[in-house]
């Protein structure tokens, strides 16, 4: 299992360089002072650094602030999972009910020990149609996990590189928390132009058409 973590030191360096460049500088709409009002409306150009109170909905604020959306905000915390002893029929039932192609396999202590991919199930069943097959027999042991504070744009890039549409979410002790999917990430693209660009690059990449997505 490969778990991705955000490095605070690296994050600080990135934030500092980004702020100095101005390209990713995040601004918040400030509550205008009384003298800045005209006709009951905020004066143009009334800005403040992040932390100031901001009017409107979270979507409105994000349009102004360009706050990165994290996995925590969109993850499926109630996602179903299989155990190593689950039968292949039980795993397939989860795929059908959840309408998903990837099912996490969770062992003792809610630790993710593998993932079952629909394509692997089909290939395994074609070669060995045994009703006694278990999740442990068909699960992949080499897989990626993400943490809740991961930016969804970074997760989308990882999914594109791995040709997978769903990844387990774990905490810093590798405890299973839920799942994050490309479908949920795509729903937030309307409010994030950079995410739109990222998804566009993934969709138009040659690998998108020539490699099987899971």
DSSP string, the chain: -EE----HHHHHHHHHHHHHHSSS---EE----GGGEETTEEPTT-EE-BTB---S-HHHHHHHH-PPPBHHHH-BTT---B-TT-BHHHHHHHHHHHT-SEEEEE-GGGBEEEEEEHHHHHHHHHH---TT-BHHHH-BSS-EEB-TTSBHHHHHHHHHHHT-SEEEEE-TT-BEEEEEEHHHHHTTGGG-HHHHHHHHHHHHSHHHHHS---
Residue 129 confidence (pLDDT) above 70: no
Q: What is the Cα–Cα distance from 136 to 37, expressed in whole angstroms?
A: 65
DSSP 25: -
The per-residue pLDDT for range 145-199, each reduced to its tens digit, is 999 999 999 999 999 999 899 999 999 999 999 999 999 999 888 877 888 888 8
End-to-end CA, the chain: 17
DSSP string, 74-97: H-BTT---B-TT-BHHHHHHHHHH
- Adjacent-strand bridge partners of 128: none
pTM surpassing 0.95? Answer: no
The per-residue pLDDT for range 58-78, each reduced to its tens digit, is 554 555 456 788 999 999 999
Average pLDDT, the chain: 74
Q: Residue 23 has what pLDDT?
A: 34
Domain ranges of the chain: 72-207
What is the sign, positive or negative, of the torsion defined by CA atoms of 36, 59, 155, 151? positive
Domain 72-207: give its CATH code: 3.10.580.10
Q: Residue 36 has what pLDDT?
A: 38
What is the sign, positive or negative, of the torsion defined by CA atoms of 150, 151, 155, 161? negative
């Amino acid at each position: 299992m490969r778990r991705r973590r955000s490095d605070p030191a690296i994050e600080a360096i990135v934030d500092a360089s980004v702020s100095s460049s101005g390209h990713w500088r995040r601004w918040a709409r400030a509550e205008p002072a009384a003298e800045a009002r005209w006709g009951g409306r905020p004066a143009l150009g009334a800005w403040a650094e992040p932390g100031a109170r901001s009017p409107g909905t979270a979507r409105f604020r994000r349009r102004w602030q360009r706050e990165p959306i994290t996995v925590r905000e969109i993850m499926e915390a109630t996602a179903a999972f299989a155990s190593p002893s689950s039968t292949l029929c039980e795993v397939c039932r989860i795929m059908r009910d959840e309408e998903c192609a990837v099912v996490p396999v969770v062992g003792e202590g809610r630790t993710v020990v593998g993932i079952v991919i629909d394509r692997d199930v089909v290939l395994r069943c074609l070669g060995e149609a045994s009703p006694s097959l278990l999740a442990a027999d068909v699960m992949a042991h080499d897989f990626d996990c993400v943490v809740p504070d991961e930016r969804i744009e970074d997760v989308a890039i990882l999914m594109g590189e791995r040709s997978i549409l769903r990844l387990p979410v774990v905490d810093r002790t590798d405890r299973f928390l839920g799942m994050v999917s490309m479908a949920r990430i795509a729903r937030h693209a309307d409010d994030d132009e950079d995410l739109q660009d990222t998804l566009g690059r993934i969709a138009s990449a040659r690998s998108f058409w020539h490699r099987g997505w899971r």
